[in-house]
Amino acid sequence: MVMSKKIAILGFGREGKSLFKFLKKSPEFRTAEIEILDQKLDKNYLKNLSRFEIIFRSPGIPYTSPQLYRARCDGTKISSATILFFKEINDYKLKTGNYKPALIGVTGTKGKGTTSTLIYKILKNAGFKTVLAGNIGKPMLDILPQAKKADFVVLELSSFQLQDLPYSPQIAVVLDVFPDHLDQHKSLREYYGSKANVGRFQKKSDAVFYFADNKLSTRIAAKSPAKKFGVRPPEDNLSKNSFMAAAVSRYLGAPEKTIQKTIKNFPGLEHRLELIRTMKHSNILQSVRISFYNDSAATNPEATAMAIKTLSHVTSPMSLVLIAGGKNKGLDYRPLTQAIKKSDLVKMVILFGENKEKIRKVLVTNDMRQVTKTVKDLKTAVKLAYKTAQSIITNYQLPVTILFSPASASFDMFKNYQDRGDQFKKAVRALK
């Protein structure tokens, strides 16, 4: 039956535009009256949402927002591109009797992009027809035709995509989970509950993989009725996400040789502990290395703590200068403080952005006043970090790693974390 209802697309970014194209071609929605609601078009775009029969929200607009809550109470149906994609795949399977494609959903607070990409590459190299979509790669609805013909569809799923999703993938992957996004979720309980949807609607014959050494990951996986696979990397394993990707791919039939070769040749993703430049600074005795790492995708304290831990093991002995700060998300910065103290390598923390004073107070309270500086912007932070690195080499003759790992969101000064990372790289490359 062809619809002639009044519907809205809430948020008109990349996913919203993909959704619009899909709806205009869909037999169910192509005759509907479609209205675009976006803050770039109208600052009052969230007003009077109850006039629509269906609203398709983008992940950037929380399902729990007061405006959407009022619309739901008035009878408006709330949906999303993610819901449509899962429904299309499920309907396709029912109509064709085809067990393919198998959906692999990857979620967690940190590491989703790396793990999703690795699983995709391993399965593809193993000869399986595999596509990658979701919160990374192409919008889901754009790859729907390819997905229906694939063996596996790997989906990176954020908490905002999972928030109201009434479906779960056949293979659920729960990475490390810790507090995040308190600026957009009502509570940590609601955030963790959203993550749990990745496995909540699975069947007993499905599978859920999780990090057994992470209490929240374990608790979230327990919400699934599927077979449980607790993954526990060795304590000295600094590539947890590679370990998880290998476990999932192995379960799905990828040869061990293909798994190891793919992981070995994987260069990593942009803005995730990305080595962007190495410079030399000469002192009286020798020429010593200064390395610059872009970890702009680290948008919470735990992610930055992990970056410090990783670099401390990989590049030791050395000294480390950390650049952090950005948009406040209501998070606790004590995990960052603990990581700095434990590493014993951080010689300077340079803070900028909206929350620089909040982070500085936590560091000062923990006896780190002498290593903490605040500056007005990222460009100034890079210059100060470079000057500090030169001073460290002169005095201690040790290599220096300058780590840009903000532990914060980017929206106070930048379009997104990618833009922030690009600006960091631009500032570093301008150094002489």
Structural domain harbouring 42: 6-75
Residue 16 and residue 88 in one domain:
no
Per-residue b or e along 357-387, where b marks 16 or more CB atoms closer than 10 Å to that residue's CB: ebbbebbeeeebeebbbbbeebeebbebbbe
Give residue 2's pLDDT: 44
Answer yes or no: is 211 within a domain.
Answer: yes
Instruction: Say whether 252 sits in a helix, a strand or coil.
Output: coil
Per-residue confidence (pLDDT) for residue 60, from 0 to 100:
81
Q: Is 144 helix (H, G, I), strand (E, B) or coil?
A: helix
Q: What pLDDT, on a 0 to 100 scale, did the predictor assign at position 368?
A: 84
Q: Which pLDDT score is estimated for 180?
A: 62
**Is 336 found in the same domain as 217?**
no
Residue 163 belongs to domain with CATH number: 3.40.1190.10
Residue 64 resides in a domain: yes
Residues 111, 166 within the same domain:
yes
C-beta atoms surrounding 210 within 10 Å: 29
Q: What residue ranges of the chain have pLDDT lower than 50?
A: 1-3
Measured on CA atoms in the order 88, 134, 191, 171, is the torsion positive or negative? Answer: positive
On whether residue 1 sits in a domain, the answer given is no
Same domain? For 10 and 141 the reply is no
The alpha carbon of 430 is separated from its chain's Cα centroid by a whole number of angstroms, namely: 28
Same domain, yes or no, for 35 and 116? no
Q: Note the pLDDT of residue 190.
A: 81
Q: Decide if 306 is inside a domain.
A: yes
What span, in angstroms and rounded, lies between the C-alpha atoms of 310 and 313? 5
Q: Which residues fall within 8 angstroms of residue 233, CB to CB, at 6 or more apart?
A: 211, 213, 239, 240, 243, 244
Do residues 312 and 368 share a domain? Answer: yes
Query: What is residue 370's predicted lDDT score, i.e. its pLDDT?
Result: 81
Boundary residue ending a domain (215, 230, 265)? 265
Counted residue by residue, the chain has a size of 432
Within a domain: 397 = yes
Number of domains in the chain: 3
Strands 274-282 and 287-294: antiparallel
Domain end point (choices 230, 265, 300) = 265
Amino acid letter, 1: M
pLDDT of residue 1: 39
Q: What is the DSSP letter of 327?
A: B
* Residue 115 maps to a domain: yes
pTM of the model: 0.87
Together in a domain, 372 and 281: yes
Specify the pLDDT at position 249. Answer: 98
Specify the pLDDT at position 181. 59
Helical segments of 32-183, H only: 66-73, 81-96, 112-125, 144-148, 159-162
Sheet arrangement for strand 319-324: 274-282, 287-294, 400-404, 319-324, 346-351, 372-374
List pLDDT tens digits, range 370-383. Answer: 889 999 999 999 99
How many other β-carbons are positioned within 10 Å of the β-carbon of residue 432?
Answer: 4
Q: Which residues pair with 209 in a beta bridge?
A: 173, 229
Tokens encoding 13: 């970014």
Residues 211, 311 within the same domain? no
Assess whether 101 and 231 both reside in one domain. yes
Nearest to residue 400, comparing CAs of 301, 295, 322? 322
> What's the pLDDT at 62?
84
Q: Within this chain, do residues 249 and 367 fall inside the same structural domain, yes or no?
A: no
Question: Which secondary-structure segment (H or E) carries 382?
Answer: helix 378-396
Residues 190 and 230 occupy one common structural domain: yes
Which CATH number fits the domain that encloses residue 382? 3.90.190.20
With H, G, I as helix, E, B as strand and everything else as coil, classify residue 304. Answer: helix
In a domain, 106, yes or no: yes
Provide the pLDDT for residue 134.
84
- Which domain-ending residue is among 31, 56, 75? 75
Q: 95 and 31, same structural domain?
A: no
80: nearest Cα among 103, 54, 106, 104:
54
Crossing angle (nearest 10°) for helices 334-343 and 356-365: 50
